[in-house]
């Protein structure tokens, strides 16, 4: 275990005075219903959503069964054939602009609820998630009346009713990635948020009400995996848009095989972050940290495999450890927090099991000193050295704050190791040489590759994977095409 020296930057797990964001400027209801056909519809069953940092129940939420999912699809069909379907692109754009502005107005509330329900640091939900949510609606608002220019000469048409199922790691952002392009293209939506993070999607439904969105245009059915399954299997759903694990993505493909449903699947990843000896090292170290510890590592495109050129490996690892000792793990609502709570007890168990496997298989674990909070789900930022390509921590998606480090000597070796994975979602390259960036970015089999930065997102930029990381793109013009018939 590393030693820490006293000094202004050597706080370990929160020696700063607490600076919690306030929770008294908005209301969370004790109980939420389903949002169907513009109304709040009672579900026959309810489940609890929990704050993973405290273990406390935040609210009860409706669990939609087959019947309620059917009602939601029916409402979406009615809206598609009725009011929403008959609007011009310019009118649809006005609604999207209105929604974007309402999101901005309620951004503080949305950020706090996102951090409470999911465990992510308030700094991230406030400065990354929610601004990107608004940006996504603004961007697609602009496209709504310009589809003929985006796809000249082919007269694009909406698909109809879209069934969308999203994960818990970026709850509102994934909802925005799904809903905004679908509406811009004239479709109607039934969305199922993740079981552990339903609240911000329900807040978004309140925003749809305030925006006067025609009833049934977007329907929100909360629930667990079975609700998602009922939605994607519903015969009147024209397209399935799914973000989640590769295992469920495969199950969805099997479930809709033989139907004429369109689909896009955004699945898991195991990104390589590759650092060359000519890279600006301090910046690269920040990029490595951001790559793996952003959102507790619950990131599909996380830079979870680090490849460092052998000549600088010792130096980089030393700097990395020093920097990891300064990371504050704790209260997600505290503005100083770097690493929040693990999203669920179940996810924490999954992380622990893979970390154990790493130790058992012979990799060398390192964690900074410091105590974790007693209540709630927590995991220390962790790195492994002495990793082999065959180790489970190198092959499997951990989806937690755990970095597996390997070294390389030549660019070719880095490429071969980086591509030796069933995934292909993202990657990172750190070097001073432009030519090396081109060589690596063209050689990496990944949908997104960042050079001298990591985890940068923009609504104009398409995102998606190769191989077991999925099919289709979200964002940009490519993302629009996935919601249109030509």
**How far, in Å, CA of 79 to CA of 186, rounded?**
10
Q: Which position among 4, 54, 107, 245 is part of the footprint of ligand NAP (CB under 6 A)?
A: 245
Shortest Å, Cβ 295 to ligand NAP:
10
Phi, psi of 234 (to 5 degrees): -60, 130
Is 232 a binding residue for ligand NAP by CB under 6 A? The answer is yes
Is 470 a binding residue for ligand NAP by CB under 6 A? The answer is yes
Of 433, 354, 435, whose CA–CA distance to 387 is shortest?
Answer: 354
Strand partners, 402: 382
Is 296 a binding residue for ligand NAP by CB under 6 A? The answer is no
What Rg, from alpha-carbon coordinates, does the chain have?
Answer: 22
- The residues, any chain, with a CB within 8 Å of residue 408's CB and separated by 6 or more, are 274, 307, 308, 309, 310, 414, 417
Is 168 a binding residue for ligand NAP by CB under 6 A? The answer is yes
**How far, in Å, CA of 270 to CA of 424, rounded?**
7
Is 225 a binding residue for ligand NAP by CB under 6 A? The answer is yes
Is 172 a binding residue for ligand NAP by CB under 6 A? The answer is no
Q: Which position among 14, 121, 214, 269 is part of the footprint of ligand NAP (CB under 6 A)?
A: 269
Shortest Å, Cβ 193 to ligand NAP:
7
Is 237 a binding residue for ligand NAP by CB under 6 A? The answer is no
Instruction: Return the one option of ligand NAP, Mg ion, none that residue 168 interacts with (CB less than 5 to 8 A, by type).
Output: ligand NAP
Is 244 a binding residue for ligand NAP by CB under 6 A? The answer is yes
Interface with ligand NAP (CB under 6 A), residue total 29
Shortest Å, Cβ 240 to ligand NAP:
9
Is 234 a binding residue for ligand NAP by CB under 6 A? The answer is no
Is 475 a binding residue for ligand NAP by CB under 6 A? The answer is no
Shortest Å, Cβ 249 to Mg ion:
23
Examine the residue annotation and report whether 283 is marked as an active-site residue of this protein: no
Complete edge-to-edge strand list for the sheet that includes strand 262-266: 39-41, 34-36, 218-220, 188-192, 161-165, 239-243, 262-266, 470-471
**How far, in Å, CA of 156 to CA of 143, rounded?**
13
Instruction: Return the one option of ligand NAP, Mg ion, none that residue 244 interacts with (CB less than 5 to 8 A, by type).
Output: ligand NAP
Axis crossing angle, helix 225-233 with helix 66-81, rounded to the nearest 10: 40
The answer to whether 271 and 427 are in contact (CB under 8 A) is yes
Examine the residue annotation and report whether 266 is marked as an active-site residue of this protein: yes
- The residues, any chain, with a CB within 8 Å of residue 3's CB and separated by 6 or more, are 369
**Nearest CB to ligand NAP, comparing residues 264 and 382:** 264
Q: Which position among 84, 294, 399, 408 is part of the footprint of ligand NAP (CB under 6 A)?
A: 399
Full DSSP string of 331-371: -TTBTT-SB---S-HHHHHHHHHHHHHHHHTT-EEE----P
| Candidates 21, 114, 266, 397; catalytic one | 266
Is 243 a binding residue for ligand NAP by CB under 6 A? The answer is yes
Instruction: Return the one option of ligand NAP, Mg ion, none that residue 49 interacts with (CB less than 5 to 8 A, by type).
Output: Mg ion
The answer to whether 448 and 250 are in contact (CB under 8 A) is no
**Burial of residue 260, with CB atoms counted within 10 A of its CB: 0-12 exposed, 13-18 middle, 19 or more buried:** exposed
Instruction: Return the one option of Mg ion, ligand NAP, none that residue 117 interacts with (CB less than 5 to 8 A, by type).
Output: Mg ion
| Candidates 21, 185, 300, 474; catalytic one | 300
Of 82, 103, 104, 94, whose CA–CA distance to 184 is shortest?
Answer: 94
**How far, in Å, CA of 178 to CA of 337, rounded?**
29
The three-state secondary structure class of 207 is: helix
Shortest Å, Cβ 424 to ligand NAP:
11
Which pair of structure tokens corresponds to residue 271? Answer: 């990104």
Instruction: Return the one option of ligand NAP, Mg ion, none that residue 281 interacts with (CB less than 5 to 8 A, by type).
Output: none
Is 228 a binding residue for ligand NAP by CB under 6 A? The answer is yes
Contact window for ligand NAP (CB under 6 A) among 44-52, 53-61, 248-256, 278-286: 248-256
**How far, in Å, CA of 321 to CA of 384, rounded?**
11
Shortest Å, Cβ 165 to ligand NAP:
5
Is 224 a binding residue for ligand NAP by CB under 6 A? The answer is yes
Which pair of structure tokens corresponds to residue 217? Answer: 């245009």
Q: Hey, which residues between 412 and 451 contact ligand NAP (CB under 6 A)?
A: 425
Q: CA dihedral defined by 136, 139, 145, 149, rounded to 10 degrees?
A: -120
Shortest Å, Cβ 320 to ligand NAP:
23
Of 240, 198, 238, whose CA–CA distance to 220 is shortest?
Answer: 198
Shortest Å, Cβ 212 to ligand NAP:
28
Q: Which position among 74, 98, 192, 417 is part of the footprint of ligand NAP (CB under 6 A)?
A: 192
Q: Hey, which residues between 89 and 118 contact ligand NAP (CB under 6 A)?
A: none
Shortest Å, Cβ 173 to ligand NAP:
9
**How far, in Å, CA of 357 to CA of 155, rounded?**
54
Instruction: Return the one option of ligand NAP, Mg ion, none that residue 225 interacts with (CB less than 5 to 8 A, by type).
Output: ligand NAP
| Residue 372 DSSP one-character state | P
Residues noted as catalytic: 266, 300
Point out which residues bind ligand NAP (CB under 6 A): 165-169, 192, 194-195, 224-225, 228-229, 232, 243-245, 248, 251-252, 266-269, 300, 397, 399, 425, 465, 470
């Amino acid at each position: 275990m590393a030693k820490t020296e006293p000094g202004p930057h050597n706080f370990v797990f929160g020696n700063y005075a607490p600076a919690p964001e306030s929770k008294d400027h908005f209301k969370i209801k004790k109980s939420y219903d389903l949002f169907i056909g513009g109304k709040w519809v009672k579900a026959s069953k309810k489940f609890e959503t929990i704050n993973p940092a405290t273990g406390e129940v935040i609210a009860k939420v409706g669990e939609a069964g087959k019947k309620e999912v059917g009602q939601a699809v029916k409402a979406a069909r009615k809206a598609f054939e009725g009011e929403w379907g008959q609007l011009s692109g310019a009118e649809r754009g006005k609604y999207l602009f209105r929604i974007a502005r309402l999101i901005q107005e309620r951004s503080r509330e949305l950020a706090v609820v996102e951090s409470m329900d999911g465990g992510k640091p308030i700094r991230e939900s406030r400065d990354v998630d929610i601004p990107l949510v608004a940006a996504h609606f603004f961007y697609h608002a602009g496209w709504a009346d310009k589809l003929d220019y985006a796809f000249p000469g082919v007269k694009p048409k909406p698909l109809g009713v879209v069934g969308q199922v999203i994960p818990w790691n970026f709850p509102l952002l994934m909802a925005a990635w799904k809903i905004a392009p679908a509406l811009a293209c004239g479709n109607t939506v039934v969305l199922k948020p993740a079981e552990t993070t339903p609240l911000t999607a329900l807040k978004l439904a309140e925003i749809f009400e305030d925006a006067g969105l025609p009833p049934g245009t977007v329907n929100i059915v909360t629930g667990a995996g079975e609700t998602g399954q009922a939605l994607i299997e519903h015969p009147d759903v024209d397209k399935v848009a799914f973000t989640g694990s590769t295992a469920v993505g495969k199950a969805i493909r099997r479930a809709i095989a033989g139907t004429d449903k369109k689909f896009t699947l955004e699945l898991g990843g195991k990104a390589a972050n590759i650092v060359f000896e000519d890279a600006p090292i301090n910046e690269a170290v920040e990029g490595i940290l951001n790559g793996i510890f952003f959102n507790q590592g619950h990131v599909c495109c996380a830079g979870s495999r680090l490849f460092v050129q052998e000549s600088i490996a010792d130096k980089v690892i030393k700097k990395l450890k020093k920097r990891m000792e300064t990371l504050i793990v704790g209260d997600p609502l505290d503005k100083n927090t770097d690493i929040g709570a693990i999203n669920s007890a179940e996810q924490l168990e999954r992380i622990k099991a893979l970390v154990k496997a790493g130790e058992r298989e012979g990799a060398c674990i390192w964690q900074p000193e410091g105590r974790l909070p007693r209540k709630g789900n927590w995991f220390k930022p962790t790195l492994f050295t002495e990793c082999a390509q065959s180790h489970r921590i190198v092959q499997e998606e951990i989806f937690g704050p755990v970095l597996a480090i390997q070294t390389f000597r030549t660019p070719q070796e880095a490429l071969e190791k980086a591509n030796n994975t069933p995934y292909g979602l993202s990657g990172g390259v750190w070097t001073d040489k432009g030519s090396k960036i081109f060589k690596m970015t063209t050689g990496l089999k990944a949908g997104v590759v960042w050079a001298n930065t990591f985890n940068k997102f923009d609504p104009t930029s398409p995102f998606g994977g190769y191989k077991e990381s999925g099919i289709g793109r979200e964002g940009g013009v490519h993302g629009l095409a996935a919601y249109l018939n030509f």
